[in-house]
Chains A and B, each alone.
Chain A
Amino acid sequence: MSDTLLKISRLGKRFGGFVALDGIDLEVRRGERLGLIGPNGSGKSTLVNCISGVLRNETGSVTFDGQPLDRLATYQRTRLGIARSFQLPRPFRSMTVTQNLRIPLLYTVNARSTRRMTETAIAARCEELLRVVGLSAKADRRPRDLTQIEMRKLELARALAADPKLLIADESMAGLSHSEVDEILELLHSLITQGITVILIEHIMRAVMSFSERLVVLVAGKKIADGDPQEVIRHPEVERAYLGE
């Protein structure tokens, strides 16, 4: 089994005349904690969308666990083991918190395995996930009854329910208080111990620096730095991108 989980080669994406991604090369190792930063409009979300299949890349390729993803739909990529949370939480609003978690279990975990999960196993897994993210008390509530951090937790729990190999957390801490950010960070750290690879996209530098063992910086659709977080943030191009000339 190769050490590389995700391999992105010469990835390119345009929106009309605007170049969103310009020949991105990136490799993510199994079990790695990768931070991805960049100013607004730098192409972070476009990159996530190209990995998860929401957008189709025009040039280059994405390989996950040795399998090319370019022709696969989003749901097929999820079933392969790529889960993501959204920048703005997108729960299934007509369903309760528990029902939200049932969906990936019914459609991803069951589809992956030849033995379908029983109702009891599904209920037990939902309970376990709710306990991990601290939403047990809200199991029967609808998303409209949740606070901002609870919504973020639901988003992460739903991604985890798909039993992923790679979790892409797209600004999971945006709008949260200092202590709430710590709560989410603790949760993300616990995933690493379960062997899940995490790509963290975040504007909160404190969170990115404390979480990431490797940092990648995108500016105007190009990767301008990749390496140890402490070294990367002192990189002249990164300083220029964030602080100006």
Chain B
Amino acid sequence: MKPYQKQNHYELLELSPDASPLEIRRAYKNAFELYKDESFASYSFFPPEERKEILSRLEEAYLILINPVSRAEYDSKMIETGILEEGTQYCHKAKDPISIYDIRETHSDLLAPRRQPEHLKQIVSQNPLIQEIMAQDTLTGADLTTIRTELGVSLEKIAEVTNVRIAVLHAIEEDALELFPPMVYLKGFLRSYARYLQVDENIIINGYIKRIEK
């Protein structure tokens, strides 16, 4: 990695060359929080002169990139020196309106953990064994266990995220009828279980309950 002192404006703000003004503003704000005088995280890491220099370089980078005219100038200089490739820079395009439900997605913060692992969905749709089980009319606890182990998720993990007691989850997977909670709760627990694994909750609930009612 290049040392901080030799990084260009985009690298300084940890941006890709096609970053939008909004991203630039956010990146500057985050960087400022990290390097400002009162920051705990960088406290004592830099001598005062160096901190001042970093802050002024960040400010310079921000001011150049946030202004479309100076940014275009800077980009063309970078292209001339071969640091930036032609065509990779930002160009302002009118975007289609986005659905209001997407707004939260665009704010997804790297630091906040997601409750439901997105990647499971992909595995579910690609795993033939899971597809086969989901196509069955009734489901046994062993089927659920198979789905879960195929996805590589531990029972503990589900218990932790869904707040369903591990003993109950275990009873469901083992078909231990005598330990089951009342039906209305059982449905809820199956729903949480299915939701965490990103499989169709209705198939799971109906298939499982249909079988135990037999």
The answer to whether A and B interact is no
